[in-house]
Structure 1
Amino acid sequence: MKKISPRAQTALLAVSRHEFVAGSDLAPSITGHSIPREEIVQHLLSLMPEIEPDQTVMHVGGGSGYLAAVLSELAHRVIYVERNPVVAEAARARFFRLGMHNVDVVTSDIAELPALEGDCDLILCTTFVPRPEIMAPYLREGGSLICLEGRAGPVPSLAMFEKRGEALNRVRTLGWVDFNRNAEQILIDLGVIDEKMLAEARTEAAKSNSRVLDLIRRKLNLDEIDLYRKLAQQRGMTFVDAEELMPQLQPALFRRFSRTFLDLSRMVPVRESGGQITVITDDPDARTDQLERLTPQSSIQCLLVTPTDFRRIWSSLDLTAKGRQFVADHSQAPGEKPEPSRARSEPLGDADSHHHVSPYLVSVYEAILLDAVSEKASDIHIEQYGERVRIRLRVDGELHDLPQYQLTPRELRGVINVIKLRAELNIAEHRLPQGGRSQLKMGDNYFDLRVQTQPSLHGEHAVIRLLPQTGRAMTISELGMSSVIGARYQRLLDNPAGLVLVVGPTGSGKSTTLYAGLQNLADDGRRKVITVEDPIEYSIDNIQQTRVRADIGFSFADAMRSFVREDPDVILVGEIRDQETALEAIRASQTGHVVLSTLHSNDAVDSLQRLYDLGIHPNSIAGELLAVIAQRLAKRICTHCRRPAEPEPMILSELFPDGAPANFQCFEGEGCDKCNGRGTVGRVAIVEYLEVNADIRNAISSQPPIGELRWRALDAGLITMRDSALDQVIEGVIPLSELPRILPRERMAPEIRGGRRSLQ
């Protein structure tokens, strides 16, 4: 690099770049061109003509103002030009704060630049101008214009023009200028990391053979989509997600390039149209020049995606290629009759089983798992209806299709075989349901997969539940319960003894609520906790977890009898299914232990009837039961697109038969890219809470009819599910439309308490 003059060196040292890159106010449109690195500014000053103290300089594409600030130390007057008004106002505030009063801020597009007072001695354009000659009216005779050329290339060149008469004459090319900040520099500019953290990440990445950006994202637990969207904005790239691109993929284009080249360059070509090839990358610093040399007749458009979407798109294109090869290898011989659609009750022979376990089918299964993990699905459903194969994911309680997997029944049987092999099931058995489990490692994340296969009319179906194994569960504060119920739940765990039940139907989040209590106990560390589960859904550090083994005669009741001799403070029983387990839970409570368990029932009061039906004496229930938490899961409104909503009249009439309150409000999600247009993200537990006090104990002991037991519970302070749901609606956590889904019709209206209707 050519040396710069002492004046230029002094100017560079006089301005702190940090003043212009504070992460809190860095506008999204700020790119490397408008906030260059210090070494790039030094390089620019070495290429440009010497700026004299009495000259006027214009900087077009001013951005954050850093380069204009350096120029203000050299010139008498600097005219800063920026078309984005938000960016320009932020720069104006910086100039004023730093006392740079010789900088005039002009907010305008180049083509609409107003007449200026006085001509400029030098105009520097660090943004591309459509035609250099449009800058001529602002230059004095003999003045210089320096602007960028070579927009299509990865690194632009700097050209110099001089004004002679009314025309601009090109003098020479000054040199190449790489304005690009790499992803690491952008993260520093945004305030996400500092130099020390970056150095540590580089060292660790070199040892683990991983990318620095991936390591930083994991260590700081940054949201993948947010991070890559910000990087795209700062790099001047377009950010897209896989859902937009999936319908446009062109497998034939993908097959034209070497897989090794694409993998090393971190690029995937996805479509070609009108002489332009669109590629995607998960590397913000990816260079397209090598690809341009391979395709000289086409221009390249590079889009940025997240690493997860990059893997999904690669898998989809790769699977299509392998699938066509699979079809070619397994096409019917001439004259062979097509296989009729029928119920598959006969076992496949060994040859047929081996025939269907191909690398392609393994790839299909792994791609489905990748899609499920990326969409945070809880379950995968693989089904066949006649000749139609359907693959669905359950996300936030709702099933939706994965249309990109167009499998034939023959391919489906092969995928089912892959699933069975992974779960160590009998691959030759197709007549009976089978259950098993396997493990999945996706990046640094581990998942426990619970597999269930089921014979049906047209073939076997499979359901796979994905359980993340992080070593931690949610805590009580993270559940989304009201602060009142959360505090009461925490207090229950501090009791010396007693039985706590969490009840609800399958899939209502009972285990999650119990595990949240266990996580709090594990974090506290003062009490010994033992669990017996079937199966162990989440592994929690510092908790002793035991699995039921029915095949060798080790049941819940057997585990409970052995647990009381191991000096525990808290015992979790995965589920009370029968009288023997219920009795052992009561006995463990009577011997001085807090016992947590689940029970299948519709609400808190119904759980008491369920215990009666199991043959537990009413006095034992009354003496040991501390509380019952009944719950359902409701969809949570996306916080990024939440807006006030007009309540649905039919729901309002059910909720408030005597008329809704005048100030009643509710909210909904409009749908945005954060929630994939659904308007909801995740779910929250809607809780009914029954704490057993003296009045409830007396009622339980007398074993009244269930209706009388409920109104006595209401009088004793039962927090109903309706109460909890309405609180969440008013606070904007869940939409009003969720209430009919989680509340039966008779519980929508306020309930009778002691013969009087509640005013709530």
Structure 2
Amino acid sequence: MKKLYSRAVAALSVISRHNFVTSADLAPSITGHSIPREETVRHLLGLMPEIEQDQTVMHVGGGSGYLSAVLAQLAHRVIYVDRNPALARKASERFTGQGLHNIDVVEAVADSRLKADTPCDLIICTTFIDTPACLLDNLRPGGTLVCLEGRAGPVPSLAMFQRKNDGLERIRTLGWIDFNRNSEQILIDLGMVDESTLAQARHEASSGNERVLDILRRKLNLEETELYRSLARQRGMEFVVGDDVLAQLNTGLFRHFSRTFLDLSRMIPVAREDSMLTVITDDPDARTDQLERLTQDYGIVCKLVTPTDFRRVWSALDLTAKGSRFAEEQGGEASGQIRGDKASRDLLGQENDKHVSPYLVSVYEAILLDAVSERASDIHIEQYEDRVRVRLRVDGDLQDLPQYQLSPREIRGVINVIKLRAELNIAEHRLPQGGRSRLQLSGTSYDLRIQTQPSLHGENVIIRLLPQTGRAMTIEELGMSPAIGAHYQRLLDNPAGLVLVVGPTGSGKSTTLYAGLQTLADDGRRKVITVEDPIEYSIDNIQQTRVRADIGFSFADAMRAFVREDPDVILVGEIRDQETALEAIRASQTGHVVLSTLHCNDAVDSLQRLYDLGIHPNSIAGELLAVIAQRLAKRICHHCREPATASPDILAEVFPDGVPADFRCFEGKGCSKCGGRGTQGRVAIVEYMEVDADVRNAISSQPPIGELRWRALDAGLITMRDSALDHVIEGVIPLSELPRILPRERMAPELRGGRRSNG
């Protein structure tokens, strides 16, 4: 490439690329051709003939307008052409805002119907056109056309044509030009990252042997699927999800390539059809040229997946290979053909395999990968008489993983792997056992809580997955109504008192408490100590302590020690017995805010639970600040949410006196983002009882629980029905969730002192 002429250097210094890149108007159609890098524009100008000051130049494929703006510094007039009306409109606004009045914007397709009002000296096409001759009439005699060739290749070439007589004559190939932006440049263009953050991530990547993109995703807390979908769109690649790849996986292709080569190139061949080989990668910047040289008889189609899905596919292929070897080693027993009394003894755990096969380790890791990919909260591995069932709990519902058709012998081996990693006794099959292990995946650490349970046909295993990010949700992120969120925030600011979060197992109590802790940690003005069993989430700037029953360190012991350590806020994981309840009351009496959980059904039931634990009513009345009771409801997928027709049966229960005229509800119709379920994630439905003077007096007198509830209603109890209906009307949850989270007697407006409350 010849040295760039001085006027072009000056033009590049005058026009800032940053002014033509804003995340707010990056349409899906924008690629590197639309927002070329400064180096690409510099290279392009160096390849072309020098542009004279009196020339008229047409730029076809103007995109964001950056290259057209640079050309406007060199030529007398520039005609910007783009087929995308949104891009053309935005480009025109940018040109006007920067005082570039020698650019005319034309919204048109580059074909024979495109007619400039004056012949051009030079036409530059930075997008592919099928027939360059379609632009002939826009060139003056002797004019030059520069356009891209080699659409199928990773890097196109730049060709120069000249108008001679009534045709175009190809003069020569000017050189190769790469319009691709790497993933780092794309993130800058999308406004997700700045240069300083990028530089810091590069340093961490080089010192920690990680990829820059993985570090950025972790630092910026970016959602993996949406990030990679955006990168695929910007790179002009097809994005696919792991389930679609696994459904059509050609396992035989994997054996035809070096595993080391595939690992280093971050590619996996997954399908072959006619003369095309489809590969997947989790590297948006992956180059296929080396693979093309290895497979000269095939064209390469490269699709992008998330790192988690890449590992899932690799694990599935690895599992197939190891499974074949395992079946051969086990002489047919691995495929479920277990014979005789020895097999029965094995099933009951009387004999144990001494050798743990790598295949069994791979099975377990594949199940964990599937769980993480599906954002499951729990894994259930269950044994029945003649089959094994693996299920995931996703958004509160259990769903099968049918791809794991394991024999009883195999599942015993997998359970042994789980036990070994959780440091449990693999020889013990008669008693339940509990333990913990860890999983590291894509920069995220997961705490795995393992519970084994003997059953008629063998041991079952339940694994809870708890991501350890160093941060929990904040109160704002919980999805509470603004009013209840403000109440919760105010409770944390109190000088002393007891705050309870109640509900059944799996209702999100810990998540709500941790949200309060995260708010306190971010504030940093108060000392917070916790005692938990187990520590579910690790939070920076919070002192967290674990109960150790094996050495006699209980919740009550921790509470007695904590009050001497100058804390402002104490979290007790759970009040399970009278001793812990008494210590929690005493800690609140000595000037501490105490947060804890109870297992009960609603806010008022928590009072009866404290009575049952032997706590004096006056102590409860004096120290209790508020009770938050909650359930989890499925959240409507915001990608496919639409208005819904309400079920008449549910409406009759919720509004016995008639449905309000302005009532509305929504549902998710199902899409690729939510796996066709119509829901994605869950949200807490909260009942909030603040203890004011009237409720305090009622607690002290210890009336029947029914009377306590209507007194709380009169004092402003926000019921779970109220919260649920607010979420239904706002389109957060479907109406069909109400019967699942509310008992029948709570579906209708409740009585307040004998009168029906407003619904």
TM-score range relative to shorter protein:
over 0.9
**Deviation of residue 344 (structure 1)?**
6.0
Structure 1 residue 214 corresponds to structure 2 residue 202: no
Q: Which residue of structure 2 lines up, in the alignment, with residue 35 of structure 1?
A: 35
Which of 349, 352, 356 in structure 2 is aligned with 1:347? 349
**Whole-angstrom distance in 2 between the partners of 1:739 and 1:587:** 38
**Whole-angstrom distance in 1 between the partners of 2:52 and 2:567:** 82
Aligned 1:528-677 pairs, distance under 5 A: 528-677=527-676
Q: Which residue of structure 2 lines up, in the alignment, with residue 477 of structure 1?
A: 476
8 Å Cα contact 1:619/1:700 also seen in 2: yes
**Whole-angstrom distance in 1 between the partners of 2:228 and 2:61:** 24
Aligned to 1:110, the other structure's residue is in SS state: coil
**Deviation of residue 333 (structure 1)?**
8.6
Opposite residue 684 of structure 2, the aligned amino acid is A
Q: Which residue of structure 1 lines up, in the alignment, with residue 712 of structure 2?
A: 713
Q: Which residue of structure 2 lines up, in the alignment, with residue 275 of structure 1?
A: 275
**Whole-angstrom distance in 2 between the partners of 1:589 and 1:717:** 24
Change (3 A) 1:480 1:540: same
Opposite residue 305 of structure 1, the aligned amino acid is V
Aligned to 2:674, the other structure's residue is in SS state: coil
**Deviation of residue 506 (structure 1)?**
0.7
Change (3 A) 1:254 1:627: same
Aligned to 1:481, the other structure's residue is in SS state: coil
8 Å Cα contact 2:349/2:458 also seen in 1: no
**Whole-angstrom distance in 2 between the partners of 1:656 and 1:333:** 60
Q: Which residue of structure 2 lines up, in the alignment, with residue 159 of structure 1?
A: 159
**Whole-angstrom distance in 2 between the partners of 1:49 and 1:13:** 20
8 Å Cα contact 1:126/1:148 also seen in 2: yes
Change (3 A) 1:35 1:622: closer
Change (3 A) 1:701 1:109: same
8 Å Cα contact 2:721/2:747 also seen in 1: yes
Aligned 1:366-377 pairs, distance under 5 A: 366-377=365-376
Q: Which residue of structure 2 lines up, in the alignment, with residue 80 of structure 1?
A: 80
Change (3 A) 1:414 1:2: same
Aligned 1:23-422 pairs, distance under 5 A: 23-111=23-111, 113-332=113-332, 338-339=338-339, 346-349=348-351, 352-355=352-355, 357-422=356-421
**Whole-angstrom distance in 2 between the partners of 1:337 and 1:685:** 47
**Deviation of residue 526 (structure 1)?**
5.0
Range that drifts further, 187-196 or 505-514: 187-196
Opposite residue 145 of structure 2, the aligned amino acid is L
**Deviation of residue 754 (structure 1)?**
1.1
**Whole-angstrom distance in 1 between the partners of 2:333 and 2:547:** 51
**Deviation of residue 277 (structure 1)?**
0.8
Opposite residue 419 of structure 2, the aligned amino acid is K
**Deviation of residue 413 (structure 1)?**
1.4
Range that drifts further, 522-531 or 293-302: 522-531
Q: Which residue of structure 1 lines up, in the alignment, with residue 742 of structure 2?
A: 743
Range that drifts further, 651-660 or 679-688: 679-688
Aligned 1:454-473 pairs, distance under 5 A: 454-473=453-472
8 Å Cα contact 2:347/2:408 also seen in 1: no
Opposite residue 347 of structure 1, the aligned amino acid is G
Aligned to 2:642, the other structure's residue is in SS state: strand
**Deviation of residue 740 (structure 1)?**
1.2
Opposite residue 79 of structure 1, the aligned amino acid is I
**Deviation of residue 561 (structure 1)?**
4.4
**Whole-angstrom distance in 2 between the partners of 1:234 and 1:478:** 29
Q: Residues 266-324 of structure 1, C-alpha deviation per residue, up to 9 Å, x if partnerless? A: 11111111210111112222111111111111000111222222222222222222222
Range that drifts further, 562-571 or 209-218: 562-571
**Deviation of residue 674 (structure 1)?**
4.0
Q: Residues 171-227 of structure 1, C-alpha deviation per residue, up to 9 Å, x if partnerless? A: 222222222222222233333333344333323322222222222222222332333
Normalised by the length of structure 2, the TM-score is: 0.92
Aligned to 2:437, the other structure's residue is in SS state: strand
**Deviation of residue 732 (structure 1)?**
2.8
**Whole-angstrom distance in 1 between the partners of 2:186 and 2:272:** 31
Range that drifts further, 398-407 or 658-667: 398-407
**Whole-angstrom distance in 2 between the partners of 1:590 and 1:563:** 14
8 Å Cα contact 1:344/1:459 also seen in 2: no
Aligned to 1:78, the other structure's residue is in SS state: strand
8 Å Cα contact 2:308/2:442 also seen in 1: no
Change (3 A) 1:260 1:79: same
**Whole-angstrom distance in 2 between the partners of 1:522 and 1:440:** 25
Change (3 A) 1:702 1:229: same
Normalised by the length of structure 1, the TM-score is: 0.92
Change (3 A) 1:58 1:540: closer
**Whole-angstrom distance in 1 between the partners of 2:97 and 2:720:** 55
Q: Residues 452-504 of structure 1, C-alpha deviation per residue, up to 9 Å, x if partnerless? A: 11122332211001122334333333322233333333343444444332221
**Whole-angstrom distance in 1 between the partners of 2:384 and 2:168:** 72
**Whole-angstrom distance in 2 between the partners of 1:82 and 1:492:** 57
Gaps of 5+ in 1: none
Opposite residue 300 of structure 2, the aligned amino acid is I
**Deviation of residue 368 (structure 1)?**
1.9
**Whole-angstrom distance in 2 between the partners of 1:191 and 1:488:** 35
Range that drifts further, 219-228 or 132-141: 132-141
Aligned to 1:664, the other structure's residue is in SS state: coil
8 Å Cα contact 1:343/1:457 also seen in 2: no
Range that drifts further, 513-522 or 78-87: 513-522
Aligned to 1:354, the other structure's residue is in SS state: coil
8 Å Cα contact 2:112/2:134 also seen in 1: no
8 Å Cα contact 1:344/1:458 also seen in 2: no
**Whole-angstrom distance in 1 between the partners of 2:439 and 2:512:** 24
**Whole-angstrom distance in 1 between the partners of 2:55 and 2:570:** 81
8 Å Cα contact 2:214/2:442 also seen in 1: no
**Whole-angstrom distance in 1 between the partners of 2:169 and 2:525:** 81
**Deviation of residue 260 (structure 1)?**
1.1
Opposite residue 346 of structure 1, the aligned amino acid is L
**Deviation of residue 82 (structure 1)?**
1.7
Gaps of 5+ in 2: none
**Whole-angstrom distance in 1 between the partners of 2:219 and 2:556:** 43
8 Å Cα contact 1:430/1:460 also seen in 2: yes
Opposite residue 307 of structure 1, the aligned amino acid is P
RMSD across aligned positions (CA): 2.8
Aligned 1:457-536 pairs, distance under 5 A: 457-525=456-524, 527-536=526-535
**Whole-angstrom distance in 2 between the partners of 1:592 and 1:195:** 48
Q: Which residue of structure 2 lines up, in the alignment, with residue 442 of structure 1?
A: 441
